[in-house]
Every structure is written in C-alpha cells, then in structure tokens.
C-alpha cells in the first residue's frame, strides 16, 4: 500500500457558496448524476471513472461499458462538489459534478478523433469541466537528481504562476463561476507548498537521496495554516498531513508499516489540536481517523487478529466523542467505523454465501459478458494469465473437467487477468482451451484481484445458481471436482 495514498485527503469546495466566506455545513445524504450521450459506438467501449470523497475518506472507481449508441445515467454517491476523471485507453477527460445536479456529457467515440478533444459538456458546471479537461495546467513536479532545494522551489513557483495564468486565461474566454475561481486559486497555491514539502520524500523515492528538511522550512512556505477558507481544498489538507511529519519523509518509503502510519495519524491529530480550530479541526481529525479505518488496513487487522490496531482506533474514536462539537460529523464517523468492520468480516475471504463480485469483460467475439448473465447455473471461474506457466500447464486437466460436466448445470469461465489480446487468443487456440473465455481491459485486473482476494494464479472459484460463493480460492482441480460432484 502506498503511504502517499494514506496521506492523501481528497476534498473540494461546496458549489453553493458565492465566496470562500460562505461555505455551508456538510450534508451527507446527497448524490450527483452524470448523463452520458454516446454516439459512434462501433465496438464495446470500456471506461474507468474515479473520484475522491470528502468524508469518509476514500476514492471510488467505477467501470463503464458502452456497447452501442445510448443515453445512460450514472449515479455518484457523493455529497460534495467533485472532480470526476474519466479514462479511456490512453486518453482522459475530467468533469465537475455537483450534489443534486445532473451534468450532461456527449461522448463521440469516433476512433479517428481524439477522445478528450471530442467531448462536450452541458449543465451548470460545463465551463468548469471544459477548463479541467482542456485548459488546466499540471503544476505538480518532482525534483531533478542534482537540483538544489532553492532551484527546485523556484521551479515550483514558476509552475504555480503558469497554473494561475492558465486559470485566468481560460476564465477570460469562458467565464467560470467566481466561487470556483477562488477555490482553484487556493488549490493551485497550496499545491506549490505541497510540492516543496514533499520534495524530501520524492528525492529518496526517485533518486535515493537522503536530504533532511531544513530547520524552519515550513515557516518559509508563506501559506496560511489555520485557514477555514481552504478547508475543502485537496492540497491544503494534504499539506496539513505533511507539516508535522518531517521525520517520516524517507522512513515511510523505506519501511511502510501500519505502525508507522498510526504514528503519523497521531501526530496529525496532535497538530490539529494545537493549530486548528472549530469545524476545520474536527473535520481534519475525522479524516485522519477515517484514513486509519481504510479498507486495506482494517481487513489486514481483521485477518491477522491485530487487537492492538483495534485498541488504537477505539482510543481515537473515544477522543472524538469527547472533543468534537459537530455531532453530525461524529455520527458519520461512528457509522463509517461500523460499516468498515462489517465489510471486513463479511468479505475477508469471500466466505461461503457471500455474493460473488460481478464483472463485465470481453469475450473472443468482442462481446461484453457479465457474471450475472449466468445466474441459474453453477459457475466455475478460473483466473489465469498468458504469462502464468502453471495456468497453461493445467489446461489439459481443465479441459478434462469441462468435457466431463459440459452437459450439466455448470458453466466454466476462464478469465484472463492480463490484457495481451493476441497472446490470449493464440494460447486458447493452440491448447484447444475449453469453456467461456473472457479477458480483462481497463481497471478490471485490479478490481478482480481485490474483489476475489487473488494472491496467486491459477485461482479457482465456485459460484452457485444464485450468484453466491460456494468456495473462493479452491486449492486444486481435484478439490474443485469434489465440490462440483457435491452440487450437481
């Protein structure tokens, strides 16, 4: 797990305010909608969409498929204005979504045209979406191997100015809402401060250089620390995470453990108690606790029965109970803790009776096929890859099993968890590989590894007629056949 991901706090400003001084209270019960208008869809198109949530802390990824020209509405479970990033192949576009609002997106999938140059937005945030997709300047950077601290800081300042210039230039041509301009100004300025602080981690990460953060370095950043007007800025909150953690600049890269991360969270909480006030203080602490309750950490602790982890989380929750003034935020934190614990226990290893995670993958004919298409039949899933020697060597055994049960109530699905289409087709043909063949594209590889707890392949799963797990991680083909015999 990336330590940087744990550090990240992804939050944005509320769109209903006309200035940074009119930020509303949080509401945790709203949703946003994207309405896609798809044309020139000649073959199945695979998209990955992701966005960051305010609180509970997290990042959401969704896979979308379009098989034909259509109009499709996507519901996003977010209750705050958010940047939505849409990936297709090697291209991407960004849009801006508002709670209780629908943004219309026209997608022209003509292969002869560039995706990001051929997307049209209509709605309240059309101009913001155009700015994010076509004009926003990427101010992020990393230090060069032999670049001094001052040289790098000067380069960051130059990129910050270019980022602001791109914003102002676009705003002069296609007017952006005033509240968004102020929000983006704030985020760009704090982005520069983040890069300056994070350079000491980057120097080790990219160049294996150990350079200590100079004394009083943070004081020279020339940015406001206790800044309620920036409380919804992603980069501001990222900066707050790093200001107290100089001793972890390189340690986190050398020895990334839950123990180190817990110590960082404690430092963040103590920093907030000392330097932040009121609503922003409670929100930042809640986000830090939420990060400690991340899915990966809590599942790891549940699997290993790490009682110390749970004691630490409980101590922070107790602190929140006694110190938060925002009872709504506190209740959301309680609910998040409860939900994370429940999810970790239920999905620890996809126990018997759990719903098998659905997927939409491409078959040999280019058609999109879902696991849910086979409800009413038993399903045997074989996760394999073109680079996996044991997977290929065991094909004859799988073919024998397929021939033995092909006329029964079971379907055999072979899911290739890499995207080498040419090699995939060749191996299937050369080995006369039997069954339904599907291949992963887009983010489906990562999704399937996470969802089915795949740690090695081949990986076998048996699913019942209702789409529920009979057994995940079946040890061998012999065990798989025994399970099939008991069901059929």
Instruction: Note the pLDDT tens digit of each residue in 435-468.
Output: 999 999 777 887 888 788 887 789 999 999 999 9
- Residue 386, pLDDT above cutoff 70: yes
Task: Give me the long-range contacts of 430-437 (CB less than 8 A, separation at least 24).
Answer: 431/392, 431/395, 431/396, 431/399, 432/399, 433/395, 433/398, 433/399, 434/398, 434/399, 434/402, 434/403, 434/406, 435/382, 435/398, 435/402, 435/411, 436/363, 436/369, 436/411, 436/412, 437/363, 437/364
Report the C-alpha gap between 287 and 294 in whole angstroms: 10
pTM score of the predicted model: 0.68
The DSSP bridge partners found for residue 470 are none
pLDDT band at 348 (very low <50, low <70, confident <90, very high): low
> What's the pLDDT score for residue 55?
72
Report the C-alpha gap between 56 and 436 in whole angstroms: 39
> What's the pLDDT score for residue 129?
97
- Contact call for residues 85 and 51 (beta carbons, < 8 A): yes
pLDDT band at 23 (very low <50, low <70, confident <90, very high): very low
**Residue 3 is encoded by which pair of tokens?**
């330590």
Instruction: Answer with the residue of higher pLDDT: 285 or 299.
Output: 285
Report the C-alpha gap between 144 and 275 in whole angstroms: 33
Query: In 10 A of CB 272, how many CB atoms?
Result: 22
pLDDT band at 17 (very low <50, low <70, confident <90, very high): very low
> What's the pLDDT score for residue 254?
60
pLDDT in tens, 171-203: 999 999 998 999 899 999 999 999 999 999 899
> What's the pLDDT score for residue 114?
77
Please, what is the average pLDDT of the chain? 86
Provide the Cα torsion 176, 180, 183, 184; round to 10°.
-40
């Amino acid at each position: 797990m990336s330590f940087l991901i744990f550090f990240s706090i992804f939050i944005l400003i509320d769109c209903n305010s006309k200035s940074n001084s009119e930020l509303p209270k949080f509401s945790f019960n709203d949703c946003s909608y994207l309405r896609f208008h798809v044309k020139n869809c000649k073959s199945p198109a695979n998209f990955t969409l992701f966005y960051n949530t305010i609180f509970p802390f997290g990042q959401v990824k969704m896979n979308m498929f379009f098989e034909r020209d259509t109009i499709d509405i996507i519901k996003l479970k977010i209750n705050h204005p958010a940047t939505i990033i849409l990936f297709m192949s090697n291209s991407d576009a960004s849009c801006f979504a508002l709670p209780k609002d629908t943004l219309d997106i026209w997608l022209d999938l003509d292969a002869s045209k560039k995706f990001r140059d051929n997307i049209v937005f209509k709605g309240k945030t059309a101009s913001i979406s155009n700015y994010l997709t076509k004009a926003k300047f990427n101010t992020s950077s990393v230090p060069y191997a032999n670049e001094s601290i001052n040289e790098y800081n000067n380069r960051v300042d130059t990129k910050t100015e270019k980022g602001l210039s791109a914003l102002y230039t676009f705003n002069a041509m296609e007017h952006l809402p005033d509240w968004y301009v102020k929000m983006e100004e704030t985020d760009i300025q704090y982005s520069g401060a983040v890069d300056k602080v994070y350079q000491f981690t980057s120097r080790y990460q990219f160049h294996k250089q150990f350079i200590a953060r100079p004394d009083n370095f943070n004081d020279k950043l020339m940015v406001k620390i206790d800044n309620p007007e920036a409380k919804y800025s992603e980069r501001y909150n990222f900066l707050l995470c790093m200001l107290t953690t100089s001793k972890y600049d390189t340690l986190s890269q050398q020895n990334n453990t839950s123990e180190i991360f817990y110590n960082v969270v404690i430092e963040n909480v103590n920093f907030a108690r000392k330097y932040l006030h009121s609503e922003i203080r409670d929100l930042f602490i809640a986000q830090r606790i939420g990060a400690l309750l991340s899915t990966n950490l809590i599942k790891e602790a549940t699997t290993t029965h790490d009682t110390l982890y749970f004691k630490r989380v409980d101590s922070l929750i107790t602190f929140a109970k006694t110190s938060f003034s925002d009872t709504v935020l506190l209740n959301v934190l309680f609910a998040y803790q409860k939900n994370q614990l429940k999810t970790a226990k239920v999905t620890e290893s996809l126990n018997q009776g759990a719903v098998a995670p659905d997927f939409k993958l491409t078959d040999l004919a280019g058609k999109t096929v879902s696991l849910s298409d086979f409800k009413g039949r038993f399903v045997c899933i074989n996760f394999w890859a073109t680079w996996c020697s044991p997977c290929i060597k065991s094909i004859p055994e799988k073919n024998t099993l397929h021939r033995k049960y092909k006329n029964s109530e079971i379907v055999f699905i072979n899911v290739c968890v890499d995207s080498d289409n040419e090699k995939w087709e060749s191996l299937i043909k050369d080995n006369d590989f039997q069954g339904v063949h599907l291949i992963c594209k887009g983010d489906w590889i990562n999704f399937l590894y996470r969802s089915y707890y795949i740690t090695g392949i081949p990986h076998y799963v048996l699913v019942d007629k209702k789409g529920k797990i009979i057994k995940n991680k079946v040890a061998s083909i012999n065990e798989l056949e025994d399970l099939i015999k008991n069901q059929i």
